[in-house]
Amino acid sequence: MAERFQVDLSGMVDLLSRHLYSGPQVYLRELIQNAVDAVTARQTVDPGAPATIRLSPGVNAAGDPTLEITDSGIGLTTAEARELLATIGRSSKRDATFGLGRNEFIGQFGIGMLAAFMVADRIEVTSRSLTPGAQAIRWEGHADGTFDVHELTTSDTVPLGTTVRLTARRDTGHWLSGDTVLGLAREYGSLLPFDIAVSVSVADSLDPVWHRVSEPELPWRVAHASDRDRSRALAAYCERTFGFTPLGHIDLELPVAGVSGVAFILPQSVSPGSGQHRVYTKRMLLGARVDRVLPDWAFFVRAVLDTDALTPTASREQLHDDEVLFGVREAIGVQLQQWALRELRSDSRLARLVIGTHHLALRGLALTDQSMLDLVTEVLPFETTDGPLTLAQLGAAGEVVYTTTTEAYRRVAAVARAQGIVVLNAGYVYDADLLARLGQRPGWSVRELASADLVQALGLPGVDREWELADAVARARELLTPDDCDVIVRSFSPETVPAILLRDPEGEHRRDRDRERSASPELWGGLLDSFAENTTSRTRTLVLNDTSAVARRLLAAPPGAVFASGLRALYLSAVMLAGDGLRSSESAALADALGQLLESALAHPTQEDPA
Ligand SMILES: Nc1ncnc2c1ncn2[C@@H]1O[C@H](COP(=O)(O)OP(=O)(O)OP(=O)(O)O)[C@@H](O)[C@H]1O
């Protein structure tokens, strides 16, 4: 004869609390949800029926914390109580034919009731069913896996609906305390469309006060006298819910998918990947930190969403990552993009704030589709040597020339600016991809800055001057040979910059080749030599500025310690100006050079020296 599975109740409860739910707090969500479903079921047969849910925390005669949850719902008959409350996995809310959860109810799995055993040893259910002639019943379940059900003789005095009464276990009393229940009921139930209230005892009064926790309407559906009032109310809701004042909000409505909500724009920039949102299913909180419901690039907003269409996992704390979720995520992405395309072109205060704060997210957005790339080229200002300019402005003026790192930009900015060369700092994440995409578009010329661009723009000293400087330049070259740095003299503004360091990617490539050649001469024979057009090329070039008084004084100095120290000091400050930072040996060399210069200055004091 076939035998029935046996279920160990405490083992099941342990499984739920440790591996399914995030913690015992979900017991209240499950009970509120059962009450809501019962009220919904009653309203389908009797639309005018009361729809109230009342939660009363208290203590029993033995001093153990208790909680009563009373609903004006459909109630349970004796047979239903026996069948539904004590059978794990049995639910009245599934479609009889398809076995799926019925759309009007939140519950579907038939395990929610078990959650109450995470905090209680005993659950008592008193209920009177709406079924004509049904007797009121009392069902009592225990954590040891036993239950008892009987009909009440005082049936008529029991109101229609159900009261679930929990008595806390010794170690779980705090989950049933008034403050905890009020906080949890607000968290889970504030958007439910029913009258849900928690009784709170007040000092000096025997009668408790009822605190209503549910709002009659979704905050983004409440009617307001003006758009301004609505924005204010939504900002206040965001402050209460997320703890920040948003820059603005974006309405999200996907009627076909049964999704509505609002996305609040964060007041500070955040790093990608931190998008977590508050999601309600059928107006009951699913989770305060649900991910994957918005596209990854939407990390500049926090959304509150209510959905009928998305399926929760059994823990009811995350959403099933199925095709429906995929579709919703895409559709929300389109709404956010449409908002951006409309609002950010408007030059409104909000547009300026959003562009200033979330330019990184907008760069990411531009990689998602062509219309967003259009938007970004039009509205996003980039740092250039000609001040903030959009890519569209740069493109209209001709070529877009950029550096791929902020360091490289800093290195050349002052000189490029003075020569009238417009260089864009493409050092932010996404910029390289963005410019590459732009470069593929017809009509756009986009390229990376080469050091030759600058060298060509810098003025050559006259022939006489070159002769005059030849000896000093040769000495300087020799001194910087160990640093793999060439030295040239040019005249350029600003005259306050005595020297700049240019890095030549071509030269770096040559250096690698030289190294390889010297490491294995016989292997390569003359092959590599044929490529080596100039074996003295260095990877970097120190360009001394002949319009700078300091550089001129150095170039006029006789050979010796002062020349060597002065050159080293200029070279190392050019390294720093280039944003490269000094190695410890270079810092020591700079200190040495300055010490040397001080010493010689003090050894030969000038006439004007007050000392
Ligand atoms: N307050 C209530 N009023 C009427 N019936 C109830 C009530 N609470 C529970 N029930 C009945 O007990 C059944 C089992 O409840 P349980 O919470 O275990 O599962 P569920 O709500 O159906 O699904 P889920 O596990 O998804 O919450 C319900 O389907 C419902 O028929």
Per-residue pLDDT of 171-192, as tens digits, reads 899 999 999 999 999 999 999 9
| In a domain? residue 479 | yes
* For range 3-23, the mean pLDDT: 79
pLDDT band at 528 (very low <50, low <70, confident <90, very high): very low
- Using an 8 Å Cβ cutoff, are 290 and 278 in contact? yes
Assess whether pLDDT exceeds 90 at residue 108.
no
- Do residues 394 and 297 share a domain? no
Residues 60, 63, 64, 67: what is their CA dihedral angle, to the nearest 10 degrees? 40
Q: Are strands 249-254 and 424-425 parallel, antiparallel or unpaired?
A: unpaired
Evaluate: CB of 85 within 6 angstroms of ligand 1. Answer: yes
One domain, residues 313 and 235: yes
State yes or no: pLDDT of 255 exceeds 50.
yes
**Listed residue (175, 171, 187) closest to 23, CA to CA:** 175
Question: Rounded CA gap, 319 and 302, in Å?
Answer: 17
Residues 405 and 482 in one domain: no
Pocket test for ligand 1, best of 37, 83, 130 (most atoms within 8 A of CB): 37
3-class SS of residue 55: strand
- 3-state SS class at 250: strand
Alpha-carbon span 180 to 186, nearest angstrom: 10
For ligand 1, pick from 20, 87, 91 the residue to mutate: most ligand atoms within 8 Å of CB: 91
Statement to judge: residues 187 and 116 lie in one domain: yes
Q: Looking at the structure, do residues 291 and 438 belong to the same domain, yes or no?
A: no
Residue 201: predicted pLDDT: 81
- Tell me how far the alpha carbon of residue 334 lies from the centroid of ligand 1, in angstroms: 38
The number of residues making up the chain comes to 611
Q: Is 407 annotated as a binding residue?
A: no
Q: How confident is the model at residue 535 (pLDDT cuts 50, 70, 90)?
A: very low
The arithmetic mean of pLDDT across residues 402-430, rounded, is 86
Nearest to 503 by CA among 491, 485, 488, 489: 485
Statement: the pTM of the whole predicted model exceeds 0.80: no
- Give one DSSP letter per residue of 466-501, joined into a string: HHHHHHHHHHHHHHHGGGTEEEEEEB-S-TT--EEE
Q: Is the distance from the beta carbon of residue 35 to the nearest atom of ligand 1 less than 6 Å?
A: yes
CB of residue 109 inside a 6 A radius of ligand 1: yes
Query: ipTM of the assembly?
Result: 0.97
Pick the closest to residue 71 from 41, 113, 26, 115 (CA basis): 41
- Residue 331: helix, strand or coil by DSSP? helix
Both 425 and 468 in one domain: the answer is: no
Please indicate if the annotation marks 71 as binding a ligand.
yes
Q: How far is the CA of 81 from the centre of ligand 1 (A)?
A: 10
Q: What sign for the dihedral angle of Cα 503, 507, 508, 511?
A: negative
Whether residue 444 has pLDDT greater than 70:
yes
* Residue at token pair 């109230």: 52
Kindly report the protein residue whose alpha carbon is nearest to atom 19 of ligand 1.
110
Query: Total domain count for the chain?
Result: 4
Q: Which helix (H) or strand (E) holds 182?
A: helix 178-189
On whether residue 370 sits in a domain, the answer given is no
Structural domain containing residue 99: 9-212
* pLDDT at 538 (0 to 100): 75
The answer to whether residue 515 scores a pLDDT higher than 50 is: yes
In this predicted structure, the answer to whether residue 95 has a pLDDT above a threshold of 50 is yes
Q: Evaluate: CB of 82 within 6 angstroms of ligand 1.
A: no
Same domain (yes/no): 76, 146: yes
pLDDT tens-digit series, residues 121-162: 899 999 999 999 899 999 999 988 888 999 998 877 899 999
Instruction: Give all strands of the β-sheet with 249-254 in edge-to-edge order.
Output: 249-254, 259-265, 301-307, 277-281, 284-290
The Cα 371–Cα 338 span in angstroms is 10
- Does 531 have pLDDT greater than 70? no
Same structural domain, 66 and 143: yes
**Minimum mean pLDDT among 294-303, 325-334, 360-369: which range?**
360-369
Cα 156 from Cα 71, distance rounded (Å): 17
Q: Give the closest residue to 87 by CA, choosing from 25, 149, 135.
A: 149
CA–centroid distance, 33 to ligand 1, in Å, is: 8
29 lines ligand 1 (CB under 6 A): no
The answer to whether 162 is a known ligand-binding residue is: yes
Cβ of 31 closer than 6 Å to ligand 1, yes or no, is: no
Domain end call among 212, 230, 265: 212
334 and 404 part of one domain: no
Tokens 């080749």 correspond to what residue? 513
CATH number at residue 334: 3.30.230.80
534 annotated as belonging to a binding site for a ligand: no
What number does the ligand 1 atom closest to the CA of 80 have? 31
- The pLDDT assigned to 101 comes to 61
For residue 470, tell me if it sits in a domain.
yes
Mean pLDDT confidence for 373-385: 92
Among 164-173, 312-321, 533-542, which stretch is predicted with the lowest mean pLDDT? 533-542
| DSSP 8-state code for residue 94 | B
Instruction: Tell me the C-alpha distance between 320 and 403, whole Å.
Output: 44
Whether residue 512 is contained in a domain is answered as no
The answer on pLDDT for 504 being more than 70 is: no
Report whether residue 314 contacts ligand 1, using a CB cutoff of 6 Å.
no
Q: Which atom of ligand 1 is nearest to the CA of 94?
A: 22
Q: Which two tokens stand for residue 570?
A: 């200029």
Same domain, 44 and 60: yes
Residue 119 DSSP SS3: coil
Q: What pLDDT score does 283 carry?
A: 94
Mean pLDDT of 423-443: 91
Give the position of tokens 């569209």: 392
Find the mean pLDDT for residues 292-311. 90
Q: What is the pLDDT of residue 520?
A: 55
Of 170, 191, 212, the position where a domain reaches its end is 212
Q: Are strands 485-490 and 540-545 parallel, antiparallel or unpaired?
A: parallel
**Same domain assignment for residues 102 and 144:** yes
Whether 125 and 253 share a structural domain:
no
| CATH code of the domain in which 384 resides | 3.40.50
Q: Does position 30 have pLDDT exceeding 90, yes or no?
A: yes
pLDDT at res. 523: 46
